[in-house]
A and B are shown apart, each in its own frame.
Chain A
Amino acid sequence: MVRGWNMALAVAGLAVLSAVPSATLAQDKMQSDSMKKDDAMQDSMKQDSMKHEDMAPDKNAKALLTGTFHGKVHSTSGRATVYQGADGKKILRLTHFKTSNGPDVHVILVATKDAKDDANFISGNVERIELGKLKGNEGDQNYELPENIDLGKFQTVSIYCERFNANFGAAPLAKF
């Protein structure tokens, strides 16, 4: 009889233990009024089909990766963010951006996790992808990324002076 009670206690104890969750999971939606958002999106889709010609900007662009610039030799600051549009195209956008002006400055992606402020890419033999000439040393600007780019490999944006092989500033990208 005593043995039976012991068994019952043990079973009850096990039941309590397994009921206690080891982790609490939360899964909030982006917005509480997601219903309203859906409505709004349907509206905008209608609008898009109405005026198909004037290349309506992509409203469903999602931020994939983001990071902030560091650069001491040529003080560089701001944010780099990779967006993907609904059509799959990826764009790098620089915001709050500021660096020093210089000759032949380019925006590149390098296959490293981060780059030192005085990094020298050609001698380091680091793979890189050219995104174009720096449009301005101050202000918000966009650069198209090539299709099929492996952002798991090219993880750092660099403001790179081609002529002197100098890294003005770098922004390591992390998942947004």
Chain B
Amino acid sequence: MNTNQRGWISRNRWILVLIAIPVLAVTWWEFRPEKLFINQKVNEAAPFAASGEPQPIYTGVLEGKAHPTSGRATVYQSPDGKNFLRLSDFATSNGPDVHVVLLKPDEKALGGVAIAGEMDMVELGSLKGNQGDQNYDLPATADLNKYQTVAIYCERFHVIFGISQLEKF
């Protein structure tokens, strides 16, 4: 039986090869396995010139924590290298002594109650308005690789109204 089979294969070797070639070709074309290892890199320019206007470098959507909060937080870089945070389409609830701060994404206060003096934060100033577009200067020392969470923080009651996780633009 075994020798018979081997004999059949060797007798029809060329037919088998002729069948195998297109089968392999089609399988290769279907799966293109070499693409698992080969990358195709591109680097198209933006469809517009980076002119003298501030360019967004980080952005994130605002979400409510203790109070409903919505809008977008974006960090812009001015041509002179200065960064500022802009809140747009912004709305949160009004409250006493509300501040805009930057936190680290792993800040404990984000998971529960903020404790006075124990939060590692970058203060950007008092919230200018609980609705509307507004800008806040970022200190040159603020490390945006570490402080990537924008928080609307009520200093008086140590409550975080809302946050936004910044991601690269």
CB 8 Å contact bits of B54-69 with A (1 = contact, 0 = none):
1010010100000000
Instruction: Give chain A residues whose Cβ lies under 8 Å from the Cβ of B51.
Output: 40, 44, 59
Q: A103-B31, A175-B89 are in contact. Are A136 and B47 (CB under 8 A)?
A: no
Which interface residue of B32, B45, B47, B130 has the most chain A CB atoms within 10 A? B47
Q: Which residue of A lies closest to B42 (CB)?
A: A136
Instruction: Give chain B residues whose Cβ lies under 8 Å from the Cβ of A68.
Output: 167
Q: A28-B134, A175-B89 are in contact. Are A60 and B48 (CB under 8 A)?
A: yes
| A83 close to B42 (CB less than 8 A) | no
- Within B77-105, which residues are at the interface with A (CB < 8 Å)? 78, 86, 88-89, 94
Question: At the interface, yes or no: B46 with Cβ under 8 Å from chain A?
Answer: yes
Q: Which residue of B lies closest to A176 (CB)?
A: B72
| A27 close to B54 (CB less than 8 A) | no
Q: A101-B40, A175-B89 are in contact. Are A61 and B130 (CB under 8 A)?
A: no
| A83 close to B41 (CB less than 8 A) | no
Instruction: Give chain A residues whose Cβ lies under 8 Å from the Cβ of B40.
Output: 101, 135-138
Instruction: Give chain B residues whose Cβ lies under 8 Å from the Cβ of A63.
Output: 56
Q: Whole-angstrom distance from the CB of B137 to the nearest CB of chain A?
A: 10
Chain B: interface residue count, which band?
35 or more
| Complex Cα gap A66–B47 (Å) | 15
Q: A23-B131, A100-B36, A103-B35 are in contact. Are A40 and B52 (CB under 8 A)?
A: yes
| Complex Cα gap A93–B49 (Å) | 14
Question: At the interface, yes or no: B53 with Cβ under 8 Å from chain A?
Answer: yes
| A23 close to B167 (CB less than 8 A) | no
Q: A25-B131, A176-B59 are in contact. Are A103 and B32 (CB under 8 A)?
A: yes
Q: Whole-angstrom distance from the CB of A146 to the nearest CB of chain B?
A: 16
Q: Whole-angstrom distance from the CB of B131 to the nearest CB of chain A?
A: 5
Please pick, from A26, A61, A81, A135, the residue contacting B44 in the complex, using a CB distance under 8 A. A135
| A91 close to B47 (CB less than 8 A) | yes
Instruction: Give chain B residues whose Cβ lies under 8 Å from the Cβ of A30.
Output: 53-54, 86, 135
| B30 close to A57 (CB less than 8 A) | no
What are 5 A-B contacts with C-beta separation under 8 Å? A25-B129, A28-B128, A79-B168, A81-B169, A95-B168
A residues adjacent to B (C-beta < 8 A): 22-28, 30-31, 37, 40, 44, 56-61, 63, 66, 68, 79, 81, 83, 85, 91, 93, 95-96, 100-103, 135-142, 163, 174-176
B residues adjacent to A (C-beta < 8 A): 29-32, 35-36, 38-49, 51-54, 56, 59, 61, 72, 74, 78, 86, 88-89, 94, 128-135, 167-169
Listed from nearest, the 8 A-B pairs whose CB atoms lie closest are A26-B129, A136-B42, A61-B48, A101-B35, A26-B134, A103-B32, A26-B128, A24-B129
